[in-house]
Chains A and B, each alone.
Chain A
Amino acid sequence: MGTDFSQPQRQSIVGIWVMFFYALQQYGRALWPIILIWAFKFDEINKVYLVVGMLLVFASIGVVSYLKYLNFTFFLDAENEEFIITEGVFNKTKTAIQLRKIQQVNINQSFIQKLIGVYELDVDTAGSNKKEGAIKAISHELALELKSRLLENDKLQRVVGTAETTLEETEQKLFEAAHPFIKISFLSLLKVGITSNYGKSIALLVIFFSTIYENFQNFGDESNIYKEKVGSYIDKNLVLQTILTSILLLFGVVLVVNVTRIVFKFYDYKITRQKGSMLLSFGLLNTKSTIIKPEKVQITTVTRNYFQKKMGILELKIKQATGGEKEERKSIIEIPGCSETERDSILRLLFHQIPERGQMLQPNYRKLIFSVVLSIGLPLLGFLGIGYWLEPIIFEYSYVVPFYVVVIGLIQYFKFKNNRLFIHKNFIIKQSGAWDVSNDIIEPSKIQAITTSQLFWHKKLNIGSIILHTAGGNIEFQLANYSIVKQQVNLWLYEIETSDSNWM
């Protein structure tokens, strides 16, 4: 704790460059149409004016950046336990963040910041959608120190806690020492890239082939004679070969795109333990780092498909409590390409034990029938209806029908087969998905509200649905044994209402 944060201080001096580039980026984005027009009319413009104008623009941005740098200060107010940021050249803004409200402190690095060699520090608080405080340019050591100072308050609270928690803490420290960190290797990322996002790839393939087929049809319609003539020239094998190679090529392209995307996003994924929290950092160009506090985690999802199972990898998604719905997507933290042992150690850190699967609930077979009617019956009816009354031409595409029925039928069947709810004393696990099978894990204490729902004709059958609302999203399970569901709801309510467990 060498640095004194109690006096207002500025960012790193090189931070001027960061602000300069950010401002440049901003103007560039706002003015790109004008710049484009200039670029096209380059020859007509007086070069002297252009150079002078450019210099003026750069100079003014530079001056503004410098003024911004001068006016941006931050300090820790020890007395009021606040972190205070003052900024603005003409319109001054003073942001005071109470230390105890700080949820997360992230240290990120964008591409520009990486070039200049500084880091960005974001302060996240509970109960607001946007990032409240951000320091755009700060050296790494200073950022780490400030981060630990900002989160120090948390530690204080814990020390004040009962003897039990300190015992837990020492236990955790031992645990931390035993397992220093998890690193996701480049190989694992490659595996993830190869085995994920099949849905997208297949959709791309379907679009590709439907366009090819359509073009082929048009071509055939226009010149039958030509086709006959050409038919003798072109070997049928050749056509088949080109089609096959194009399929392979497309698959290749999809795979490469997928792999690069994942490598760029998650390169050098490191997980470190710190005071019972998880510290993540990842990214090739934009390095992101974030903290996960176990008590703020709401839903943990473990996803894997058949290939990933064979390769021994899986994907973890962690949803934390969110202030608003807009933020929901942002606060999902993905950990791709974990091995099973890594998954277990992460889960142990989050839940202090490995989640167990308790009593199993299955949906009634009516769920399968319902989803088949909805996904196969209705579209078929629509198809027949359109063909019969409106456009008989679409019957020419009838060969798609059996294909569609088989594929969608299989998907629905596996979805139904994998759909399970496991209820254990300390955990609720919902399993779902056709190809990518995911397990959503929540603790009963994270439940905010419970909705039960029953259609009136299901009363006699004793089946019904349940939605568990948490601060990180809902867990829904349909058409289960309703008396078990009701009994569980009563038990969960009892547990929530008799303990003041902290859900956040």
Chain B
Amino acid sequence: MENFTNETIDTSQLPKFEEVSFTALQPKYLLVVLIGLLRIIALLVLVPIIVSIFKPEFFSGRVWLILGIVIPVFSIFLIVLSIIAFKKKGFAFREHDVLFRYGVIATNTIVIPYNRVQHVALHEGLISRYFGLAKIEIFTAGGSSSDIEIPGIEKEQAENIKQLLMGKIQKQL
């Protein structure tokens, strides 16, 4: 009991989560995102072409014109959006918690203290694996809305981060 103190906390002196500098995702990851997008865009372009081969009467000149405008605009919109989303994503590992920032219109920052982490997983997508990237998934008991997924990390670094987190969780127990 002698060591027990209960001083007032000066809240302005606490470490500030909003001033943490975030680490950006690997630039290679942008390629992964764009390749993923390319598949969607290819689908958008291919479907009308295939339909027009089997049912040519379905498409008049006007429909082609509308499609010709809508598909490129939509594609560019998607690409710009994912580039912004990529740039805004960032993560930081502090001594006691992990932070992840994301969001295009709104800037969201999620913080999970290490002593609330339930388990950590490493996930490699097909395209990501080709580029040597991995995704770290951090789960809490708070349901899917409070889990963090950090994509676009070098495989080796991801392994290290996982080990670090596992160590932190073990220490809590």
Inside 8 A of B59's CB, which chain A residues have their CB? none
Determine if B56 is an interface residue (Cβ-Cβ < 8 Å).
no
Determine if A448 is an interface residue (Cβ-Cβ < 8 Å).
yes
Distance, CA A451 to CA B146, complexed state (A):
8
Inside 8 A of B9's CB, which chain A residues have their CB? 491, 494
Number of interface residues, chain A, beta carbon within 8 A: 30
Determine if A456 is an interface residue (Cβ-Cβ < 8 Å).
yes
Determine if A325 is an interface residue (Cβ-Cβ < 8 Å).
yes
**Segment 91-123 of B: residues with Cβ below 8 Å from A:** 96-97, 103, 105-116
Q: How far is the CB of A119 from chain B (nearest CB, A)?
A: 31
Distance, CA A490 to CA B112, complexed state (A):
12
Inside 8 A of A325's CB, which chain B residues have their CB? 143-144
Q: How far is the CB of B16 from chain A (nearest CB, A)?
A: 6
Contact of B106 among A449, A456, A503 (CB under 8 A): A456
Inside 8 A of B145's CB, which chain A residues have their CB? 451, 467, 469, 474
Inside 8 A of B144's CB, which chain A residues have their CB? 325
Contact of A449 among B15, B103, B116 (CB under 8 A): B116
Determine if B60 is an interface residue (Cβ-Cβ < 8 Å).
no
Inside 8 A of B17's CB, which chain A residues have their CB? 486, 489-490, 493
Q: How far is the CB of A67 from chain B (nearest CB, A)?
A: 41
**Segment 346-369 of A: residues with Cβ below 8 Å from B:** none
Inside 8 A of A471's CB, which chain B residues have their CB? 141-143
0 or 1 for each of B1-45: is its CB under 8 Å from A? (1 = yes): 000000001011011111000000000000000000000000000
Distance, CA A467 to CA B142, complexed state (A):
11
Determine if A171 is an interface residue (Cβ-Cβ < 8 Å).
no
Inside 8 A of A504's CB, which chain B residues have their CB? 141
Contact of A321 among B14, B97, B109, B141 (CB under 8 A): B141
Inside 8 A of B114's CB, which chain A residues have their CB? 497
Inside 8 A of B111's CB, which chain A residues have their CB? 449-452, 489, 493
0 or 1 for each of A484-504: is its CB under 8 Å from B? (1 = yes): 001101110110110010011
Distance, CA A187 to CA B113, complexed state (A):
47
0 or 1 for each of A458-488: is its CB under 8 Å from B? (1 = yes): 0000000001011101100000000000110
Determine if B140 is an interface residue (Cβ-Cβ < 8 Å).
yes
Q: Are A454 and B106 in contact (CB under 8 A)?
A: yes
Inside 8 A of A453's CB, which chain B residues have their CB? 103, 106-109
Inside 8 A of B170's CB, which chain A residues have their CB? none
| With contact pairs A496-B116, A503-B116 given, residues A449 and B108 touching in the complex (Cβ less than 8 Å) | no
Determine if A240 is an interface residue (Cβ-Cβ < 8 Å).
no
**Segment 291-347 of A: residues with Cβ below 8 Å from B:** 321, 325
0 or 1 for each of A434-460: is its CB under 8 Å from B? (1 = yes): 000000000000011111111110000
Q: Are A496 and B113 in contact (CB under 8 A)?
A: yes
Q: Are B97 and A493 in contact (CB under 8 A)?
A: yes
Q: Are A448 and B106 in contact (CB under 8 A)?
A: no
Q: How far is the CB of B126 from chain A (nearest CB, A)?
A: 28
Distance, CA A137 to CA B148, complexed state (A):
45
Distance, CA A302 to CA B26, complexed state (A):
47
Distance, CA A456 to CA B88, complexed state (A):
12
| With contact pairs A486-B16, A496-B115 given, residues A451 and B142 touching in the complex (Cβ less than 8 Å) | no
A447 to B, closest residue via Cβ: B116
Q: Are B146 and A490 in contact (CB under 8 A)?
A: no
Distance, CA A458 to CA B103, complexed state (A):
14
Distance, CA A178 to CA B144, complexed state (A):
43
Q: Are A493 and B113 in contact (CB under 8 A)?
A: yes
Distance, CA A486 to CA B12, complexed state (A):
11
Q: How far is the CB of A91 from chain B (nearest CB, A)?
A: 32
Q: Are A449 and B109 in contact (CB under 8 A)?
A: no
**Segment 63-110 of A: residues with Cβ below 8 Å from B:** none
Q: Are A452 and B108 in contact (CB under 8 A)?
A: yes
0 or 1 for each of B153-172: is its CB under 8 Å from A? (1 = yes): 00000000000000000001
**Segment 45-90 of B: residues with Cβ below 8 Å from A:** none
Q: Are B113 and A497 in contact (CB under 8 A)?
A: yes
Q: Are A448 and B112 in contact (CB under 8 A)?
A: yes
Q: Are A469 and B146 in contact (CB under 8 A)?
A: yes
**Segment 408-454 of A: residues with Cβ below 8 Å from B:** 447-454
Distance, CA A309 to CA B140, complexed state (A):
38
Inside 8 A of A467's CB, which chain B residues have their CB? 145
Contact of B172 among A452, A454, A500 (CB under 8 A): A500
Distance, CA A453 to CA B141, complexed state (A):
21
B88 to A, closest residue via Cβ: A456
Inside 8 A of B110's CB, which chain A residues have their CB? 449-451
Distance, CA A497 to CA B99, complexed state (A):
14
Distance, CA A321 to CA B116, complexed state (A):
13
B107 to A, closest residue via Cβ: A454
A498 to B, closest residue via Cβ: B96
Distance, CA A474 to CA B110, complexed state (A):
13
Distance, CA A325 to CA B141, complexed state (A):
11
Inside 8 A of A449's CB, which chain B residues have their CB? 110-113, 116, 140, 142, 146, 148
| With contact pairs A456-B105, A469-B143 given, residues A487 and B12 touching in the complex (Cβ less than 8 Å) | yes
Distance, CA A454 to CA B105, complexed state (A):
8
Q: Are B11 and A491 in contact (CB under 8 A)?
A: yes
Which of B9, B106, B141 is most buried by chain A, counting CB atoms within 10 A of its CB?
A: B141
Given contacts A453-B107, A456-B106, 9 further A-B contacts (CB under 8 A): A448-B116, A448-B140, A449-B113, A451-B111, A453-B103, A469-B142, A487-B14, A494-B9, A496-B116
Q: What would be 27 A-B contacts, judged by CB atoms less than 8 Å apart? A: A447-B116, A448-B112, A448-B146, A449-B110, A449-B146, A452-B111, A453-B103, A453-B108, A454-B107, A455-B105, A469-B140, A469-B142, A469-B143, A469-B145, A473-B143, A474-B146, A486-B16, A486-B17, A487-B11, A490-B15, A490-B17, A493-B17, A493-B96, A494-B9, A494-B14, A496-B113, A503-B116
Minimum-distance CB pairs A-B, first 10: A469-B146, A448-B142, A469-B142, A497-B96, A449-B146, A471-B141, A448-B140, A453-B108, A490-B14, A449-B112
Binding site for A on B (CB under 8 A): 9, 11-12, 14-18, 96-97, 103, 105-116, 140-146, 148, 172
